[in-house]
Amino acid sequence: MSDLTTIARPYAKAAFDFAIENNTLSDWNEMLAFAAAVSSEPQVSTLLAAAGNAEKAAEVFNTLCDEQLNEHGRNLIKVMAENKRLQALPEVFRLYQILKAEHELEIDVYCTSNTDLDAAQKQAISQAMAVRLSRKVKLICNVDSTLLGGVVIKAGDLVIDNTIRGKLDRMADSLLS
């Protein structure tokens, strides 16, 4: 995966920079999402392999995507085909989304609890995380019945373990030290 990330990063950055310059962030998001979905199809991989050369592969891919790509999107596909990088499109899309979220000061916050949270609890967590992270928060809640109680909140590299098990572990650590 890290090799694919290394390959995809310059393409995602170029698409993002172009989108910022032309104020087309959401257009590029849609184009890359569609192109990533198309490239993930096994039949498409077979078609591209049968195309033989990069020009034909780009033509086949752009024909499949048809009106979903504008001129600049088709050009990106052509460049990626010339460099034999079309398989990296899903990773390009993923990295583009990260760049877009950073630019728009948004972050996905994952909250896991042992029961469903009510609207007030979700609102309180969203507000607290928005203040702490200085970003717009998209709260994604999960239920894990193996938790004893409390919540685990993850946002990027930040992990807040406010479960009963986490509290007991921290207490045990402090008593042992």
Instruction: Indicate the DSSP class of residue 157.
Output: T
Residues near 149 by beta carbon (within 8 Å), at least 6 away in sequence: 114, 163, 164
Share of the chain above pLDDT 90, in %: 41
**In the predicted model, is pLDDT for residue 111 greater than 80?**
yes
Alpha-carbon distance 35 to 55, whole Å? Answer: 17
pLDDT digits (tens, 9 = 90+) for 80-103: 888 888 888 999 999 999 899 889
Q: Is 41 helix (H, G, I), strand (E, B) or coil?
A: coil
Q: Which residue has the higher pLDDT, 91 or 148?
A: 91
Q: By C-alpha distance, which of 76, 72, 67 is closest to 10?
A: 76
First to last CA, the chain: 39
Q: How confident is the model at residue 42 (pLDDT cuts 50, 70, 90)?
A: confident
Instruction: Please give the domain boundaries of the chain with CATH numbers for all domains.
Output: 2-102 (1.10.520.20), 106-176 (3.30.360)
Q: How confident is the model at residue 2 (pLDDT cuts 50, 70, 90)?
A: low
Q: Residues 62-77: what's their mean pLDDT?
A: 86
**In the predicted model, is pLDDT for residue 44 greater than 90?**
no
- Both tokens of 36, joined, read 């990533």
Chain centroid, CA 29 distance in Å:
11
pTM: predicted TM-score of the whole model, two decimal places: 0.71
Own/partner pairs, 60-64, CB within 8 angstroms, 24+ separation: 61/35, 61/86, 64/38
